[in-house]
């Protein structure tokens, strides 16, 4: 399993563990969707709001996401410059070109539509389904979450299978689109919280042998066991 994809999936589950008030332990690693939770009868898919035609930028993200700054090739800094975005010293995103601040809306809608299509064709179904989307807006303080909330609600209202929750991670906040209760909530992510979630996700990623069927709780136990050996 590729590092960058797995890191995002772990980060999503860890952020919900510590921040989502409806969280129940029991998330188990899977595929299509990325996590299953029998205790909640829930399936969780994790994705980034990217377009297929992002081309070289998307391939670059797939290859280097989660790597330390010093691990990126010199050509990346020459090509993307200040558009390279880092969390806790690790590469996280290529920000949009200046002047494309609202581009994240189109990308989020596109990715949601594709995931909704897959939910209704080839995902393992549970009573509840959820989607965790990483958005990469240029301005994290100017997110039109209400527009996305309404768009996603309309897009799935006539679908047989629907997402009960969509989590929109915008860097310094997570918008929780709750279609079970038809509510929109914003969870702030101060810098210390971001740092903790990144550090915790990185520790879990490197402290366990991740395979399908591995639970988040098992990963925590594995990390504690490994740390006791030293």
β-strands 35-37, 42-48 pairing: antiparallel
Taking residue 150's Cβ as centre, other Cβ atoms within 10 Å add up to 13
Q: What's the sign of the alpha-carbon dihedral 175, 23, 38, 12?
A: positive
pLDDT tens digit at each of 230 positions of the chain: 234 788 899 999 999 999 999 999 999 999 999 999 999 999 999 998 876 545 567 778 778 888 889 999 999 899 888 888 887 788 877 776 665 545 778 889 989 999 999 999 989 889 999 999 998 776 655 678 999 999 999 999 999 999 999 999 988 899 999 999 999 999 999 989 999 998 999 899 888 888 889 999 999 988 875 544 43
Report how far apart, in Å, the C-alpha atoms of 64 and of each of 39, 52, 90, 193, 199 are: 34, 17, 9, 23, 17
CB atoms closer than 10 angstroms to residue 180: 12
> Does the predicted model carry a pTM greater than 0.85?
no
């Amino acid at each position: 399993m590729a590092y960058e994809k797995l890191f995002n999936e772990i980060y999503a589950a860890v952020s919900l563990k510590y921040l989502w008030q409806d969280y129940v332990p029991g998330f188990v690693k899977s595929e299509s969707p990325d996590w299953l939770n029998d205790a909640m009868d829930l399936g969780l898919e994790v994705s980034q709001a990217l377009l297929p035609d992002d081309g070289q930028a998307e391939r670059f993200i797939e290859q280097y996401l989660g790597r330390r700054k010093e691990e990126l090739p010199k050509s990346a800094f020459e090509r993307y410059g200040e558009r390279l975005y880092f969390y806790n010293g690790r590469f996280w995103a290529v920000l949009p070109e200046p002047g494309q601040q609202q581009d994240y809306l189109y990308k989020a809608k596109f990715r949601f539509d594709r995931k909704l299509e897959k939910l209704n064709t080839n995902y393992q179904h549970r009573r509840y389904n959820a989607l965790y989307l990483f958005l990469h807006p240029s301005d994290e303080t100017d997110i039109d979450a209400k527009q996305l909330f309404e768009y996603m609600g309309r897009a799935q209202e006539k679908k047989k299978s629907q997402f009960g929750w969509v989590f929109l991670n915008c860097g310094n906040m997570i918008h929780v689109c709750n279609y079970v209760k038809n509510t929109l909530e914003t969870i702030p992510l101060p810098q210390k919280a971001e740092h903790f979630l990144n550090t915790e996700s990185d520790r879990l990623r490197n402290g366990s042998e991740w395979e399908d069927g591995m639970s988040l709780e098992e990963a925590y136990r594995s990390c504690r066991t490994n740390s006791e050996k030293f």
